[in-house]
Chain A
Amino acid sequence: MDPRESARLTPDDPALALADALVQRYPDRITARIVQPARSADFRPLPDWLDPALRQALGGRGITQLYSHQAEALALSRAGHHVVVVTPTASGKSLCYHLPVLAAVRARGAKALYLFPTKALAQDQVAELNELNREAALGVRAFTFDGDTPGDARQAVRLKGDVVVSNPDMLHQGILPHHTKWAQFFENLQFVVIDEMHSYRGIFGSHVANVMRRLRRIAAFYGSHPQFILCSATLANPAELAEGLIGAPVMAVERSGAPSGARHLLLWNPPVVNPDLGIRASNRSQTTRIARRAIAAGLKTIVFANSRLMVEVLTKYLKDAFERDIQTRAKVSAYRGGYLPDERRRTERALRADGLDCVVTTSALELGVDIGSLDVCILNGYPGSIAATWQRLGRAGRRGRTALGVLVASSDALDQYLVRNPAFFRDAPVEHARIHPDQLLILMEHLRCAAFELPFRQGEAFGPGPVDEYLAYLAESGVLHLEADRWHWMAEGYPANAVSLRSVADGNFLVVDHSNDRKEVIAEVDYSAAAMTLYEGAIYLVQARPYQVERLDWTGRKAFVRATRVDYYTDAIDYTRLRILDAFDTRVDGGSTCARGEVHLLRRVPGFKKIKYYSHENVGYGNISLPDHEMHTSSLWWQIDPRVLEQTFERRAQALDGFLGAAHALHLVAALRSMAERQDLGRAVGDGNGEWFATVGADSRGSARRADGARFDPDRSGDDFVPTVFLYDNFPGGAGMSEPLYGQAAEVVQGAWQLVLECPCRQGCPACIGPILAAEEKQAASPKQAVIRVLELLGARAWT
């Protein structure tokens, strides 16, 4: 149905009216209007096996039948399958696990473990279970067990909890290494629930998959083989991720039977204010403007920002706007991590009771937390994944009324790409959540933990197969001792405490503020990022507050910083050379090659630039003397036949510009598809042998250097000019991000090409090809054209 038509049919639909008005007033800012029509509920009867008390509990909450996805999940779980349920926000997904669990607890004294990524979500679920419990005196005891559980309450949770609600970190450090205290619980453990499954991806997900291996191993020791029920936001590969996480086949339920009102999503690009430089108005001012209109129209509004600082800024703007206006007196409030719990509860209550007109928040309100119904959701910038975008948009929506979402793009390249490609929001999901549980370092960490928990038998499998080879390594390091057919833990200490699930290995750096003679740890930086961010002289930002690094203690893993008020930021110069060690797969297509395999990376950080805010002018340099960082990792790469390059480009310098810009665009699209943080997926341009590498210099010109740092002029080199674009896992040993991209390489190239081609800039801009200017002032072709040519040589084709 045409959205206009529905507006006429439901004149009393203010969010729809606002959407229409915005489209009419700002046609050049709205790049797309995506309409999800209202959907009616697909009901199924309650299954026969549900006992009367459970029916009564459901009835007490007004539930007499199930949505189709709930019924389907229940049936699959009842049949003994592991199940993953993919559903939108507010579709009653928690019943998909509460019902099988409650039924089993009541029928046969089963125990269940619920895992949520955050403590707040865990508390919400215990509250929900307790409500169900009260409706019909089910007698099921649900407790949270996390770092906040007081010592004297822990024993009661272990012995009396039917449902224990925790998080993966607590399971890893607090429960599994003490499993004997939980013996009763494990003996009866029949269900493990993993909600918000999509958040377990990348390094974190790879760790969690290993924690699940440990969990299943311990459960098996007590004779239990629990069934898993997982819930996820929309992904392209939910079953694959679920199977990777739990190491067993999983059935997916992907069609929601929950009703929903119509939802309109406007993709909003701020207007161009400087056409020459392609500079757009800030998304902050646009967000404020849209929010003001929504609030003025009496629509309850939620605004999501991507940083705590931005929450404060937007709240101030909106308060300023409405406090002056005596007539409306709209109430605006901020809500974010770092606020006291009492304050947060007050805001939640005010939202539910319609005492607030607008809340400005971070991801803190993305999930869980009951805040009642809202009409309009405005995203100030892309939240980093399409799954999170939909989860946030799902916060708006009431029965029988239209919900309006507006995604206001920032100038960030990925934002710009997305608002120009509505297909990402309209078509089937493209985001593949990846994990790599057998990443060597991660696997070794968890083998230590697992061996501590229970001796390994020789030949025992952990994950796909036996691990004796790894255990022998641990024995050689003095951690294990092989006696008869068992590998026994023989070290002092408690290995789980040395393993954080949220990073690849230990060796993290602490950022210590020693302003005012107090020493306070204000941040933690991953080892691999330390060289690029914590060199002496670096400006390190914590919540947009600048600190200067005064001393870096590399061996002690500490950076001492002091608050400062400089007007510049710093940018490390990164000389990263990659050498191809081994190609596992290679595909040749015309004049180009795409391959995946293992590479050797050598990163040198010789110095840094000081860059002034706003003007971006270069105001100084500093030297850095740090050890080179070397690692082996996995990578995906593209190369073009030198003869084809010679035919296409007049000069090699132009081709190099093309490769540098193509790397930028490929990197963006690949990060989007693999749901990787952009810094976790590295990109580089070089020759594949580590002989030379290319970077974009401080002057925004592309240039190449030899291994010793000397300039390399491609036009004066011999016949061996084979530029290579690498997308690599920025972790020692690889982390499983770049490898699966090999299978999607054509889509990545095509997406990069489209991103560049469709960008409204003429010569190329930071949003499409990165901050690169033509190698020569009077060059015939722009860098943008060079990038498009490179991408076409790599296989991009105009749509037919």
Chain B
Amino acid sequence: MDLKQRLRALEAASGRRTLPDSGTTAVSAAHAAPHLPAVRAAIPAASGRSQPAADLLATGAERALAQRLGAVHMAPGLLFREVELAAAHRHGGQVLGEVCSIGEQALGVALPPPASGWLFLDTETTGLAGGTGTLVFLFGAVQVDASGFRLRQWLLTRFGGEAAMLDAIRQAFGEVAMIVSFNGKSFDLPLLRTRMRLHARALEERHLVHLDLLHPARSAFGARWPDVRLQTAEQRLCDYRRDDDLPGSEAPLAFTRWLRHGEADGLVRVMQHHRDDVLSLVSLSVALAEAYRDPQRLGADEGGIVRRLNRRGYRVREGQRQLAFSP
């Protein structure tokens, strides 16, 4: 009896539920790839860069994926897509440019000026459990600085691309004074630190302000909404609705199918979903700041907001139509 048969027999005898066999994994063909005309159009001929040498080492499937996404091979196993966005770009009820005027003390955090660089970031991972076996296979961010708005995404097509991705993230962190996330303090950042440590790198973040939108959102709406997830917030505050969105929980499967079967459709949809996530971070910052100024208009919990601001050392003056707070 070979090892495989032996293990299957032992696992059956011990009551262990065996994982599905590789050959029998159901493949869902229901999801067609979305079209990305807006994005395609926004790429000025691959950002005017010369095609990197990494492309020469790519497999046919990787090259096809890069083309579908409008991305380039930054390193073997790492795709990079960059889109310049206009300040007037509308995402839901907000336009991106509004984020530059949310105020220095918005949401009870002292914000560095936008020109010093803000990074609205998000990750897609192979799982939510955390721990060293969870991989960040997609990192993306809207970067705001003096030169405008750029949406950048780094996607792994192989494990081997990770070191290059981490270096790109380190560089992006080095270019800004603030990062903005949704639940990044407990999820994305610890995970990035873990990945960096596994690759003998360190994430330099001491110079950064970290605005984690989950916490101000929870203070303002925790008592009002059934849950405070990003998609709930973007629907209720930004009036943004996604159509044909890939649920975030299916992202790990999409990456797995790409690795095992070379299926690209799922990854294309993950990229789209993830792009919406980071854009929503910008719109949400604008909307939340507005809710903090004028809780009643947006149905926010004024008591929760005041408590948060007090906790963070702000004196809040009430009695006017809008909240005004100063450190």
Taking Cβ atoms with an 8 Å cutoff, the residues of A that contact B are: 177-181, 183, 440-441, 444, 451-455, 469-470, 473, 476-479, 481, 483-484, 486, 488-497, 504-508, 527-528, 557, 629-632, 731-733
* B194: interface (CB < 8 Å): yes
B289 → chain A closest CB, angstroms:
29
- Alpha-carbon distance between A483 and B156 when the two chains are bound, in angstroms: 13
- In the complex, are the beta carbons of B14 and A505 less than 8 A apart? yes
For A469, A473, A492, the residue with the greatest tally of chain B CB atoms inside 10 Å of its CB is A492
Known: A478-B256, A486-B159. A441 touches B16 (CB 8 A): yes
Nearest B residue (CB) for A483: B159
- In the complex, are the beta carbons of A478 and B25 less than 8 A apart? yes
Residues of B within 8 A of A504 (CB): 14
- In the complex, are the beta carbons of B10 and A440 less than 8 A apart? yes
Known: A473-B3, A632-B9, A732-B10. A557 touches B15 (CB 8 A): yes
Residues of A within 8 A of B198 (CB): 180, 454
Which one of B84-92, B123-131, B144-152, B231-239 is at the A interface? B123-131
Known: A476-B22, A492-B126. A179 touches B132 (CB 8 A): yes
Nearest B residue (CB) for A222: B197
Residues of A within 8 A of B126 (CB): 490-492
B162 → chain A closest CB, angstroms:
10
- Alpha-carbon distance between A631 and B8 when the two chains are bound, in angstroms: 11
- Alpha-carbon distance between A486 and B13 when the two chains are bound, in angstroms: 31
- In the complex, are the beta carbons of A494 and B259 less than 8 A apart? no
- In the complex, are the beta carbons of B18 and A477 less than 8 A apart? yes
Query: Which range contains the number of B residues in contact with the other chain?
Result: 35 or more
- Alpha-carbon distance between A481 and B135 when the two chains are bound, in angstroms: 13
Residues of A within 8 A of B6 (CB): 440, 632
* B260: interface (CB < 8 Å): yes
- Alpha-carbon distance between A732 and B128 when the two chains are bound, in angstroms: 33
- Alpha-carbon distance between A528 and B124 when the two chains are bound, in angstroms: 40
Chain A contact surface mostly: mixed
- In the complex, are the beta carbons of A441 and B159 less than 8 A apart? no
- Alpha-carbon distance between A701 and B21 when the two chains are bound, in angstroms: 48
- In the complex, are the beta carbons of B256 and A507 less than 8 A apart? no
- Alpha-carbon distance between A37 and B20 when the two chains are bound, in angstroms: 64
- In the complex, are the beta carbons of B11 and A441 less than 8 A apart? yes
- In the complex, are the beta carbons of B132 and A476 less than 8 A apart? no
- In the complex, are the beta carbons of B25 and A177 less than 8 A apart? no
Residues of B within 8 A of A455 (CB): 159
Residues of B within 8 A of A178 (CB): 130-132, 194
* B19: interface (CB < 8 Å): yes
- In the complex, are the beta carbons of B159 and A632 less than 8 A apart? no
Which residues of chain B from 68 to 113 have any CB-CB distance to chain A below 8 Å in the complex? none
Known: A473-B3, A632-B9. A452 touches B16 (CB 8 A): no
- In the complex, are the beta carbons of B15 and A527 less than 8 A apart? yes
Taking Cβ atoms with an 8 Å cutoff, the residues of B that contact A are: 3-4, 6-7, 9-11, 13-22, 25, 126-133, 135, 158-160, 190, 193-194, 197-198, 252, 256, 259-260
Residues of A within 8 A of B252 (CB): 492
- Alpha-carbon distance between A455 and B18 when the two chains are bound, in angstroms: 22
B147 → chain A closest CB, angstroms:
34
- In the complex, are the beta carbons of A506 and B129 less than 8 A apart? no
- Alpha-carbon distance between A333 and B18 when the two chains are bound, in angstroms: 50
B275 → chain A closest CB, angstroms:
23
Q: What 3 A-B pairs are tightest by C-beta distance, nearest first?
A: A507-B15, A452-B133, A527-B15
Residues of A within 8 A of B9 (CB): 631-632, 732
- In the complex, are the beta carbons of B14 and A454 less than 8 A apart? no
For A180, A440, A478, the residue with the greatest tally of chain B CB atoms inside 10 Å of its CB is A180
- In the complex, are the beta carbons of B25 and A473 less than 8 A apart? no
Residues of A within 8 A of B158 (CB): 483
- Alpha-carbon distance between A527 and B121 when the two chains are bound, in angstroms: 46
- In the complex, are the beta carbons of B15 and A177 less than 8 A apart? no
Known: A492-B126, A494-B130. A469 touches B3 (CB 8 A): yes
- In the complex, are the beta carbons of B3 and A632 less than 8 A apart? no
- In the complex, are the beta carbons of B22 and A177 less than 8 A apart? no
- In the complex, are the beta carbons of B22 and A477 less than 8 A apart? yes
B150 → chain A closest CB, angstroms:
30
- Alpha-carbon distance between A481 and B13 when the two chains are bound, in angstroms: 26
Residues of B within 8 A of A506 (CB): 15-17
Contacts A473-B4, A629-B13, A631-B13 known; list 18 others, CB within 8 Å.
A177-B132, A178-B130, A180-B132, A440-B10, A441-B11, A453-B131, A453-B133, A454-B198, A469-B3, A477-B18, A481-B159, A486-B159, A491-B126, A491-B256, A492-B126, A493-B129, A632-B9, A632-B13
A509 → chain B closest CB, angstroms:
9
- In the complex, are the beta carbons of A478 and B159 less than 8 A apart? no
B166 → chain A closest CB, angstroms:
13
Nearest B residue (CB) for A630: B13
- Alpha-carbon distance between A632 and B160 when the two chains are bound, in angstroms: 40
Known: A451-B133, A505-B14. A483 touches B160 (CB 8 A): yes
A176 → chain B closest CB, angstroms:
9
A155 → chain B closest CB, angstroms:
11
Residues of B within 8 A of A495 (CB): 133
- In the complex, are the beta carbons of A505 and B15 less than 8 A apart? yes
- Alpha-carbon distance between A452 and B127 when the two chains are bound, in angstroms: 12
Residues of A within 8 A of B193 (CB): 180
- In the complex, are the beta carbons of B127 and A733 less than 8 A apart? no
Residues of A within 8 A of B129 (CB): 492-494, 497
- Alpha-carbon distance between A495 and B194 when the two chains are bound, in angstroms: 17
Which of A473, A481, A494 is close to B260, meaning CB atoms less than 8 Å apart?
A481
A663 → chain B closest CB, angstroms:
23
- In the complex, are the beta carbons of A490 and B7 less than 8 A apart? no
Nearest B residue (CB) for A629: B13
- In the complex, are the beta carbons of B19 and A477 less than 8 A apart? yes
For B9, B13, B18, B129, the residue with the greatest tally of chain A CB atoms inside 10 Å of its CB is B13
Known: A183-B197, A481-B159. A733 touches B10 (CB 8 A): yes
- Alpha-carbon distance between A489 and B19 when the two chains are bound, in angstroms: 14
Residues of A within 8 A of B21 (CB): 476-477
Nearest A residue (CB) for B129: A494
- Alpha-carbon distance between A164 and B133 when the two chains are bound, in angstroms: 24
- In the complex, are the beta carbons of B131 and A505 less than 8 A apart? no
- In the complex, are the beta carbons of B14 and A494 less than 8 A apart? no
Residues of B within 8 A of A493 (CB): 127, 129
B3 → chain A closest CB, angstroms:
6
B82 → chain A closest CB, angstroms:
26
Nearest A residue (CB) for B158: A483
- Alpha-carbon distance between A413 and B69 when the two chains are bound, in angstroms: 74
Nearest B residue (CB) for A455: B159
- Contact sample, A vs B, 30 pairs, CB 8 Å cutoff: A177-B133, A178-B131, A178-B132, A180-B132, A181-B194, A440-B7, A451-B133, A452-B132, A454-B132, A476-B22, A477-B18, A478-B20, A478-B25, A478-B256, A481-B259, A489-B133, A490-B256, A490-B259, A491-B126, A491-B256, A492-B252, A493-B129, A494-B129, A495-B133, A506-B15, A507-B16, A632-B6, A632-B13, A731-B14, A732-B9
- Alpha-carbon distance between A732 and B9 when the two chains are bound, in angstroms: 9
Nearest B residue (CB) for A444: B7
Residues of B within 8 A of A631 (CB): 9-10, 13-14
Residues of A within 8 A of B132 (CB): 177-180, 452-454
B138 → chain A closest CB, angstroms:
15
Residues of B within 8 A of A473 (CB): 3-4, 7
Which of B4, B13, B19, B135 is close to A478, meaning CB atoms less than 8 Å apart?
B19
Nearest B residue (CB) for A482: B159
Nearest B residue (CB) for A448: B133
- In the complex, are the beta carbons of A479 and B259 less than 8 A apart? no
Residues of B within 8 A of A444 (CB): 7
- Alpha-carbon distance between A490 and B194 when the two chains are bound, in angstroms: 16
Residues of A within 8 A of B3 (CB): 469-470, 473
- Alpha-carbon distance between A497 and B16 when the two chains are bound, in angstroms: 14
